Structure 1
């Protein structure tokens, strides 16, 4: 979302009785990253998970380092609790595609990456924090 994630979250809560499972702002991230942000960027949503029925959707604002453009506002998340499965998805999806973010450890996941596959579909792939490091 282009600085409208909070608005979208509220909308989906009202429209579908969605429940917020997790929400973190950019300002709640790693101190090194937060220090690079402007004051008006601290409240932007870095990551949120809403549960609608049995389905989970993730909503975030576009990070300041990735400019918003039509076509990149929707991506498919693949979540696993097994790093080997995350690596398998990542490896296959990047074939004939483009790596947007290399698969690496982040503050919210032991293995997170983003690719645009050969069909120009954006996938964000990550392992839940329950796993050990890469």
Structure 2
């Protein structure tokens, strides 16, 4: 599943970077890739023996979610900060079935910040923080 090319490391390219602190970066990445079409793991670099994090966890990984590039890692130091809903992934869903499926899967073992509803700015909208602490705004176009 790794791609050794440097196409995902272009100079000046912008990617969303997710820092995980519970050694669950790979689990989260694989979960997200399973949710969206046109998604895949592009490259994984793992922590090795004698390195500052648990051997085999993710040092850096690049993955694609519906065409958008992301990076993630299992952070060796535990920081005082973590993910916040103030920065979230916004997903325009093509139909109600997609919206409800994504909402249900992301909300499982997570926190619903705004249940699916019509809030006046969208036909149907929901806001969740998933089981890994990453926030998602789901919108029906």
TM-score by length of structure 1 reads 0.42
Write 1 or 2 for the structure with the bigger share of strand: 2
Q: Which has the larger radius of gyration?
A: 2
More helix, by proportion? 1
TM-score, normalisation: structure 2: 0.40
